[in-house]
Structure 1
Amino acid sequence: MAEFDLDRLEQQVEHLLRQLERLRDENASLRASQEHLVAERAELIEKTELARSKVEAMVSRLKSMEEQL
């Protein structure tokens, strides 16, 4: 009976170790994905700000041209 319990405990520990390794791999993958998405978001924010600045400059030029007419 005690040997059966030890075998079962050993199987459970092995299962937990495999699960731990799988979760570590998944966590590393998720962290890498998050880093990529954060960098992509920052790049998109920068592009949006640049586009906004260009549009505001064009609107200002158009207003100034309109005033000259």
Structure 2
Amino acid sequence: MEQSEVQALADKLDKLIERCQKLERDNTTLRELQDDWNRERAQLMHKNDLAKNKIEAMIGRLRALEHH
């Protein structure tokens, strides 16, 4: 194998390593974003449940007032 071929392979390997490192960084960033979205979703679902329960309680009180 000639020196130029070895150098070409080394260059390709360096580019491949750089690409893998970038993909690992991107993957880490995406996983962190996914975790953030999942936490936010859980918080919003909890707030939605609280609001739903309050509204149902208000409706129950209004219906009770109608029957008095």
The answer as to 2:22 corresponding to 1:22 is yes
Q: Quick one: distance in 1 between partners of 2:67 and 2:59? A: 12
Aligned residues: 68
TM-score (norm: length of structure 1) = 0.95
| Deviation of 1:4 (Å) | 1.1
Counterpart code for 2:64: S
TM-score (norm: length of structure 2) = 0.97
Identity in percent = 32
Structure 1 segments (4+ residues) deviating >3 Å: none
Q: Which stretches in structure 2 are left out of the alignment for 5+ residues?
A: none
| Deviation of 1:2 (Å) | 1.3
